[in-house]
Structures are given as structure tokens and as C-alpha cells.
Structure 1
């Protein structure tokens, strides 16, 4: 084995473009198409409902593709491949749990929030808990979306910086301007159709080049990359016997479920996609298409990681850990040349654009809709839509400014955002939908405790304070969810039930029952539904062993 090489240009394979003409032409054409779609869709915006949720008229196949693109992000092409190479087969636990999130949104609250006409979870919190909870939720959403979008902006800028040789600061602001421009032009209409197109650009940019790579690596199933590497498995096991081992503590896999399945449930940029469906039946079909296309994308990306490890082992190459996220580019430079790699880069950029546009719309909705509603400002629909435009521009500028000097934990900021969402946002929404006994005091206490616990116990905030294992799994920032999530649920239940018994707080569960019945589609017929405290108490008791399990040394 040769020693890892730390500087670009020193690896014994091509790292950057030697001919920029065709790559830049491919990327330029895709941007022209994105803006063309946005401009065409601009004429369909006649109010806030059109801007935020595309008039709730997006078809199931388009919506399923758009959700997949928004959900996968630039990390699919870069960071995910790097983590698959590093974590190896256990990383499938992350992907599998992540795939559960969209069906859970539909099952747990998608249909109910549609009936209330909510754009975001924070809008629901205003109706369900009141203004104070809505403000807390809007602030949490903005924070989580900023954390998520930050990685996308920097990843996009690094593609331009590393592969094209552009200055990082210039690349960052060019990317910010391009993304902000087409989000402002058409809102959810343009973003939905652009994201659907971006998914297929992402998918073909991974799938088709991998056919050529696997063929040259000697796989007989090269024509279908998701399974095409199968006959290379014996050689992989011989060269890398630990690649398929499940080596981490059981709690790490459970933490993956809490963070990666339940975290996205509270993320508005995904929920908003569900709300854009024509009706509930279309929403269900959207989930079907999401699972189908995302599964294809996941399996293809795993083939990329497999091929990368296989190729490095066969050639005797080693690369620095910091460069593992460029593996898909290295593979294509080595096997497919500049032009095809240019299309792969266009796919990576499509992943970043599709996700960050969803984040910016979610931030826009939180600021322009939720804050206005919470403070009961008197604004016309047109004025609110204009405020939404301004919020998108402001979000793009703020993210770009933060990205100039990013925090040290940037690499895992996206995963950390999932843990915060799971502990601080998801319980407030889900329990608020399914129980009339939870209230604003429990909701606020739960959100604050969940957020604070993840931040304090995360290895990225305070030195010397942490939770869970050491090394790679702890550095992902997810181990803390084993304590934060059960603690958040217990706090929610206990504070809500105690608040009922304090007359001065004015908590009246009866006043919530009609709203609960309405959101579940029942007429106000006097029937008692979702009013028992027993399910809440049982849920809180179930959280105690999980909490105890999480605080034990890993």
C-alpha cells in the first residue's frame, strides 16, 4: 500500500477536469432549464397557497420524485459515499431508517394537517397550542433548516472550488445567487417541478456512469448497478473481510431509528411536499413513488461506495479521509473521463439545489407565515407572499455568510439536525395530533428540553460533555438522541398532565377535543376521542427503560 496523499494533484489518478468545455456546457444547460421551468411556473402564483404548497395540485409521480430529490441532497453524492466507505455495511441502518420517514409523515400527521390547511408544523402548533408554541417551533425550524442548508451551500461551493479551481468565496456567493433566484421566481411550483427533474438528473448521473465503471471492474451484472456488483462480493470479502460486518453497539442502530426515521418527521421541507398533493389518495401514491425511486437511488449509491472500496483495494491506493467524499468523481475520472464526469457533477449540483431550495422555502414559510400568524399581524395575501420572497433572499444571504466561516462540526451538521428535530419538533407535532391531553406547557417544555439535551450532549458544542460511544459514531452527533428523545417525551407527558391540575394555568382539554375531532375528519358529534391520559402515561413509562439504556456506558 502507498501512503495516503494529502494534497490535490498527488494521487496517481485524475482528480480534476483537464477539459472544462463540455462539463461547463452540461452544467450551464441544466441551470437554463431550471430557470426556464421556474419562469414558466411563475404565472401560476396567485397567492400564498400557490407560493408555499403549489395550490396543493402536484401529481403523485412528480411529487414522489421531488420529495426524493429534496430528501437525498448533495450528501447523497459526496458525504454519504464517504460514510458508506468508512462505516461500511452498518450505514445501511441509516438509509433504511431514513426511508421510513416519509411514510411516517403521511401516517402520523400528513392527512390531519391537510384538513387544517396548514403550510408547516409551526402553523399547526399555533392552532393546536397557541402563539407562544408557534414562535418556539418556528425558531427551531429555522435553526434546523439553516443547519441542513449550510452543508448544501458549502458542498456546492466546494464542487466549484475543487473541481473547477474557482475561489471558494466567489463560488459560494454565485451558488447562493443562483439558488435564491429560482426559488424566488416560482416558489413551490417551480421548486416542485425542478426537484422532480433534479431527481432524474441525480439518478441517471449515478446509475449510467456506474454501468461503465462496473463493466470495467469485471462485473457481469454491470447493466443494473444496484445489484450489478453482486458477483464481485467474494473478491471484496477476500480483500476487505470486515466490509459486511455489523460492528457497532446495538444502541447505535436504535439511535439511528430515533434520529433518521423520526427526525425527518418534524422537518417542514419534507412535510410541505406531502401538503402539495392534490388529495389524500394522491399523497399515498406519492409515498409509493417516493419509496420506489429512492430505493433505486440508494442501491445505486451503495454500488458507488462498493466500487470505490473495490477499486482502491485492487489498485493499492489509499486516500485521505477528507477526500473520501469525492469518491464518485474519482471513479468517473478514472473510468469514464471528463465529459461523463461533468454530467456526474451536474447530478451532484442538482442534489444540492433540490434540497437547499426546500430548506429555503421552509425558512420562508416559518418567517413569512408562522411569525406573521403568531404575532397576528394584519397583512394581505399579496403582502404575505412578498414577505415570503424577501425571506427567501434573506435566508440565502444568511446561509452564505455563515458558510464563509463554517463551524468545525459542519461535516455532520445535517445528521445533528436530524437529532434535534427528532427530540424537539417531532413529539410536539405527533402527540398534538393524537392526544387532546397534551398542551402548550408540555409542548414548550418538551421542545426546550429536547433541543438543549442534544446540544449539550453533542460532542460538537461543549468539550468534555457527551453521551454514547466514542469515535466515529459519537462524532456523527446522533448518540445523544438516546437520552434526548425519551427525556423529551417524558417531559411532554408529565408537564402536560400536571398543568391540567393547576387552575391558574387555565388548561382546558375539553376546548381541544373539537379541534382534534376536526383534524381527524370526524364531525363535532359529541363523541369523546383521543381524550384518555392512559396512552400518554404508558408512552412515558416505555421511555424510562430507553432513557436508562441510553445513559449507560456504551
Structure 2
């Protein structure tokens, strides 16, 4: 592993642009195209359904590319590369689990919520659990999306620092203004088509420059970066012999499954992409394209981290830990010059725009649709859409203010958001779809317990309270999910089943039967489906050893 001995910016290689004309030109053209697409698509917005899910008309290839762009984000270029440089080969466990999330969304609830007519978790919660749970879910969504968007705004501001040499605060508010204006104009119509374009900008901005880098590093397979670094492995083992070591506790990998595979299931900015599909069949094809193009992007980005570690080891350079985020830019400055690095920066900006637009639309949906419906306010479609615009603007301002004091790794707040989603949102949605025995009392208790556990055990909130792990694992806050997830599920199941036994609570599992049958596409034939408590009890029993395992010191 590279020792971050160099703590301040006196590096023996280029860090910022010497010539700005071509890089700035590339980025300006890119923004003009994005705003042009947004303005052109704006005419399609006739109501909140158009604004939030693009009238459910997006085709599989466009949607698959858009899902991938929304899912990968700016962190793919910066925070992910930084963690790969530090964590090295074990980080593949993060992306392997992450790749499972979109297929799981389709399998576990994508079709069922589409039949129900929901396009946010809070809308589903209103139908399934009632207004109170809908409000709780809307608040959780806003919090999680703010945390996720925080990392994107920080990264975009850092890119502006690299490009223009501006002060971080100035960079942050300029970026916040540009991004917020872009989302307000676009809605889901513009965001979907822009995100598809942004994915291909991201992929080419990583793939093509890495061909030049690997060629100059001496790789014979330089023309296909995802595999092209293979012949450099023997030399990497000499300069960085621990790069391929699986050094983490088994719980680290299991925690990654809980956070990175199950966490995204509860994130509405990803689910909304599935709901924009023209049909259920189009949604399945969307998953195929998503897995294909995302796998290509992942493998390309891994080559960036490999090349960065290899290059630093060969040259004897050392980089401060806080600057690992900028590795892709350092590589391209060193091997390709300002013009190509300008396109790499454009790819990073495209990644940030694609993801943060999804976050802000999710916040907009939570405020303009879910809260209004939960309180049963009499609001016209035009007024709902106006509330959506206002929510996007408010979210942009709040995220910019939160980003004024950023964490060392921009990906930290994103990992924290995944843990909260996995513990507080995913169980409520998935069990609500597949069991008639869970109810609003269990759902509310589960969400509160899951959220509170992650917050209390995270090093980024109260501090001084840990979940059992040490070092990088504890710093990232991912160990909390080993306790929060099983505790949330246990709470959900136990409280739901106990509530059935309390007459004054008026819980009737049979009242959910028709709704769940409708979601799964069955007619109202009075057949008992999903009403057995046995699967819930088995699931609760399985959570006990996982909880005990997570509590033990790592």
C-alpha cells in the first residue's frame, strides 16, 4: 500500500491545467448540449407524472444507460478510485454487490409497485401502511438523498478547483447553481436522455484516455483497458506485493453485501429509473443493458486504480491520502496532457450531474408528491409540479451548505447513505410487498430503529461510539450495517406480529391480502397468499446470529 507521507501539495507531477482554452471549451459545449436537451424535453412535461417518471415511456437502451449513469456518479471517477487505491483488490467486493442492486429492484418489487401505480417508496407506504409511515418514509428519503448528493456536490466543487483554481466555496456555489438550474429545467424527461448521454461521455472519458496511459506504461493489451493491465501484474506484485491481498475480516465483505446490494434497493432515484420504462418487459431489458454497460465501466475504472498504484510505485511518488480522489486526473496530466485531461474532467462532471439530478428529483418527488398525498391536501397538478421545482431549488441550497465542510473522502457520505437505506428503507418495502403479516406499527418501528442505529454507530455523527470494527472499516462507517440491518428486521417482524395480538391496535392481516394480490397481478379470488407468519419467523431467527456476529469485535 502507498504510504501517504506527502501531506501537502508539493508533488513532482502536474496537478492543475496549464492551458484552459480546450478544457473549458469541452465543458462549455457539454453544458450547452445538456441544457439544450433539457429545454427541448421540457415541452413534454404536462404534470407531475411526466416530471417524475417521464410518462413511463423511456426505452431499454436509453434507460439502461441512464440507470448506469445515475448509479455510478462522480464518485466513480474520484472517490471510488481513491478507495481502490487504498483498499486495493478487496474493493471489488463493493462493486460486485453494487451490481446486484438493480436486478434485485426488478425482482423484489419493480413489477409489483408498477402495477400499484407507485413510483416512490413513500407512495407505496401510503397505500400499504398508511399516512404516518408515508411521512416517515418521505423524511428518510430526503435525508438519504441529501447524504448521497452531498458527495456529488463535493466532488464537482473539487473538479472546479482543479479546472479553474477557484476557492472551494466559490466552486461549490457555482456548481450548485448550474446543477440546480439543469434539474429544474429537465424533469425526468430531460434527465433520462441527458443521463444516457452522460453515461457514454463518462465511459469514453475513462476508456479512451486509459488506452494512452496503459500504452505508455508498457501494457501490450492497452487497446482494451478493462483487461489491458493484465501483463503488468507480475511487476505490480514486485512493487506493491500486497495489492492483491484479501486483507479484511469476513464481516467486511458481508457488510458490503448488506450496504451495497440491499441499500440501493431502497433508493428511489434508482427505482424511479425502472418505473420510467414503457412496460415490465422493457424494464427487464433495461436491466440487461444496465449490467452490460456498467460492467464495462467498472472494469475500466479498476484499470485506472491499478495504473495509478503501478505508476506511483514505479516512479517512487507518494500522494497524500486526501488527494487519492484526484488520481485519474494525475495520471492523465502525466501521460496525456491538458486537452485529453479536459475530456476526463468533462466525464467526471457528467457523472456528477447524472447522479445528483436523480437525487434531486427523488427529493422533489418526496416533497411535491408524497408529503402532499400523505396529508391529503387538495392541490392541482400544476401546483404539484411547482412544488417539485421549489423542492429541487431548496435541496440544492441545503446540499451546498452541508458541503462547505467536506469529509476527506467524498465517498464517505455516499456509503453512509447506503447503510441508512439498507437498514431503514429496504426492509419496509420488500417485506411490505411479500408479506401481509407486516403492518404499520412494525414498519415505523423498523425504520426508526434502523436509522437511529446507523446514526449512533457511525463515526461521522456522534463520534466515540463504534460498531466493533477498527481502522478504515470504522472510518467509512460500514460496520454499523452489521448491527443495524438485522436489528431493523427483527424489530419489524416482532413488532408487527405482536401488534396483531393487541386488540386496541385494530391490526387485521386479511385487510392487506387484496392489496398484495393486486400488486402481484392476481385477481381478487379470495385466495390466501403471502399471509403465513412462518417465513417471517424463520427470517427473524436467521437475523439473530448475524446480529451477534456484527456485535463482536472485528
Q: TM-score, normalised by structure 2?
A: 0.98
- Which residue is 1:371 aligned to? 371
Whole-angstrom distance in 1 between the partners of 2:462 and 2:419 = 17
The aligned counterpart of 1:7 is 8
Aligned mates of 2:3, 2:405 — CA distance in 1: 34
1:7 & 1:404 partners in 2: Cα distance? 20
Per the alignment, do residues 201 and 548 of structure 1 end up closer, same or farther by CA in structure 2, a change over 3 Å counting? same
Structure 1 residues 464-514: Cα deviation after superposition (integer angstroms, max 9, x where no partner): 211132000111111011111001001000000000110100111111100
Looking at structure 1, the residues matched to 330 and 217 of structure 2 have their Cα atoms a distance apart, in angstroms, of 14
CA gap 1:14/1:524 in 2 versus in 1, 3 angstroms:
same
Contact 2:80 2:411 in 1 (8 A): no
Cα distance in 1 for partners of 2:363, 2:352 equals 16
More deviation, 316-325/253-262: 316-325
Q: Secondary structure at the match of 1:480?
A: helix
Q: 1:123-134 residue pairs with structure 2 within 5 A?
A: 123-134=123-134
Match of 2:120 in 1: 120
Q: Single out whichever of 394-403 and 419-428 deviates more from structure 2.
A: 394-403
In 2, the alpha carbon distance for the partners of 1:179 and 1:409 equals: 21
Counterpart of 1:332 in structure 2 is 332
C-alpha deviations, 1:134-170, integer Å up to 9, x for none?
A: 0000000000000000111111011112332112222
8 Å CA contact retained: 2:155, 2:410: no
Q: Which position in structure 1 is the counterpart of 2:223?
A: 223
Give, in whole Å, the separation in 1 of the partners of 2:310 and 2:197.
Answer: 31
Contact 1:123 1:370 in 2 (8 A): yes
The CA distance in 1 between the partners of 2:252 and 2:423, in whole Å, is: 16
Give distance in 1, aligned partners of 2:30 and 2:255.
38
Q: How many residues align?
A: 553
In structure 1, the partner of 2:35 is 35
Distance between the aligned counterparts of 2:8 and 2:89, measured in 1?
Answer: 29
Q: Deviations over 1:382-401 (max 9, x none)?
A: 11111111111111111112
CA distance in 1, matches of 2:444, 2:342: 48
Q: Is the 8 A contact 2:267 2:421 kept in 1?
A: yes
Deviation at 1:454, TM superposition (A): 0.8
Deviation at 1:409, TM superposition (A): 8.0
Q: Aligned residue for 1:360?
A: 360
Give 1:408 shift: 7.5
**Could you tell me how far apart the structure 2 residues matched to 1:88 and 1:341 are?**
24
Determine if contact 1:459/1:466 at 8 Å carries over to the other structure: yes
Q: Deviations over 1:47-77 (max 9, x none)?
A: 1111000000000000010011111111100
Pair 1:496 & 2:491 matched: no
Contact 1:65 1:293 in 2 (8 A): yes
**Aligned match of 2:65:** 65
**Deviation string, structure 1 residues 187-221 (Cα, Å, up to 9, x no partner):** 00000001100000000000000000000000000
1:417 aligns with 2:450: no
Partner of 1:243: 243
Does the Cα contact within 8 Å between 2:125 and 2:133 map onto a contact in 1?
yes
Deviation of residue 5 (structure 1)? 3.2
Q: Quick one: distance in 2 between partners of 1:204 and 1:367?
A: 36
Question: Taking structure 1 as reference, are residues 409 and 466 closer, same or farther at Cα in structure 2, changes over 3 Å only?
Answer: farther
Counterpart of 2:170 in structure 1 is 170
Q: Secondary structure at the match of 2:403?
A: helix
Q: 1:410 and 1:314 mapped to 2: Cα distance?
A: 27
Paired residue for 1:255? 255
Displacement after TM superposition at 1:411 (Å): 4.8
The 8 Å contact of residues 108 and 430 in structure 1, kept in 2 or not, is answered as yes
Rounded to whole Å, the distance in 1 between the matches of 2:468 and 2:28 is: 46
Q: Deviation string for 1:87-146 (max 9, x for gaps)? A: 000000001000000000000000000011112011000000000000000000000000
Tell me if the contact between 2:152 and 2:410 (Cα under 8 Å) persists in the aligned partners: no
SS at the partner of 1:524?
A: coil
CA deviation string 1:296-343 (max 9, x = no partner): 000000000000011011111111111111000000000000000000
User: Is this contact kept in 2: 1:52–1:365, CA < 8 A?
Assistant: yes
1:550 partnered with 2:547 = no
Alpha-carbon distance in 1 for matches of 2:11, 2:550: 43
| Cα distance in 2, alignment partners of residues 422 and 13 from structure 1 | 41
Partner residue in 2 for 1:157? 157
Q: Counterparts of 1:4-153 in structure 2 under 5 Å?
A: 4-8=5-9, 10-153=10-153
Aligned equivalents of 1:138 and 1:532: distance in 2? 29
Match runs of 1:473-484 below 5 Å: 473-484=473-484
What is the CA distance between 1:462 and its match in structure 2? 2.3
Structure 1: gaps spanning 5 or more residues? none
* Residues in 2 aligned to 1:528 and 1:4: alpha-carbon distance in whole angstroms: 65
Q: Is the 8 A contact 1:409 1:460 kept in 2?
A: no
2: distance between equivalents of 1:546 and 1:483?
8
TM-score w.r.t. length of structure 1 = 0.98
- Tell me, in whole angstroms, the C-alpha distance in 1 between the residues paired with 2:4 and 2:547: 44
- The aligned residue for residue 265 of structure 1 is 265
Q: Distance in 2 between matches of 1:211 and 1:380?
A: 53
Shift of 1:7: 2.9
Q: 1:266, 1:422 within 8 Å by CA — same for their partners in 2?
A: yes
Report 1:287-436 matches (<5 A). Answer: 287-406=287-406, 411-436=411-436
Cα gap change, 1:316/1:492 in structure 2, threshold over 3 Å: closer, same or farther?
same
SS of 1:43 mapped into structure 2: helix
Give, in angstroms, the shift of residue 11 of structure 1: 1.0
**Is the contact between residue 2 and residue 317 of structure 1 (CA under 8 Å) also seen in structure 2?**
no
Aligned residues of 2:157 and 2:172 also touching (Cα < 8 A)? yes
C-alpha separation in 1, matches of 2:402 and 2:479? 26
